[in-house]
Amino acid sequence: MTEFNQYKALTFDCYGTLIDWENGILGVLKPLLIAHNTNLDDDQIIELFAEFEAELESGDYIKYREVLKRVVQKFGERFSFAPTADELNSLADSIQHWLPFPDTVEALRVLKQNFKLVIISNVDDDLFAFSAKHLDIKFDEIITAEQAKSYKPSLNNFRLAIERIDLPLDQILHVAASVYHDIVTAKSLGLSTVWVNRRAVQKAVCPTGSAISQPDLEVPDLKTLAALSSPK
């Protein structure tokens, strides 16, 4: 059982954990692909997005806006079409419209009463600024890939966050939806973790078979986390 009173700071992944990135991505890529005579189901689109994104983020650092542009380019290469200039920029341009999950904002307000709240996100500063407006909460620290010049699951992003938070590791709890990007790396550094498994009712996208990928706590959403962490 996770004892929340030992923690002073909660660190959060943003997209997929706080912001509904799947609907944001599908809202752009699905009509784009259909326009180029390519019909894929939602899971296929998300799986290809994840494949292309991980490949692009594993090389030399480029800004996330460029990552998203090249993701669209890779869809074109895979399915033999040439995206227009507007289509290449469409994913990055759409982030300003991506909305939080229905439980996110209220849960963050509850959690803010007892913890410092910190963002660790694979994004550019200006793109996160759009999302911050929707999240409607003042974060104590915001660590982006642009600041770290690397992308999770790199240790670098978490080390930068730990340095800025300036608390002992056992007082920091990392909350994320991605085992691959977040849980494994956070645990390897000695952080406790919460897996927000929003897709549990559908299927577990990220396997948690190995010991290092096992979160300390699994919840279906942030509302549940806020309820569990509130003093009894």
Structure tokens at 14: 């943003």
C-alpha torsion sign, points 101, 107, 109, 114? negative
Structure tokens at 96: 């300003």
Contact 48, 40 (CB under 8 A): yes
Closest C-alpha among 205, 161, 228 to residue 49: 205
Structure tokens at 185: 């790396």
DSSP lists the bridge partners of residue 19 as 15, 100
Q: Which residues are catalytic?
A: 13
DSSP lists the bridge partners of residue 120 as 143
Contact 71, 91 (CB under 8 A): yes
Contact 175, 108 (CB under 8 A): no
Tell whether omega for the bond before 153 is within 30 degrees of 0, i.e. cis: yes
3-class SS at 35?
helix
Q: Which residue has the tokens 């300003």?
A: 96
Quote the distance between the C-alpha of residue 192 and its chain's center.
Answer: 17
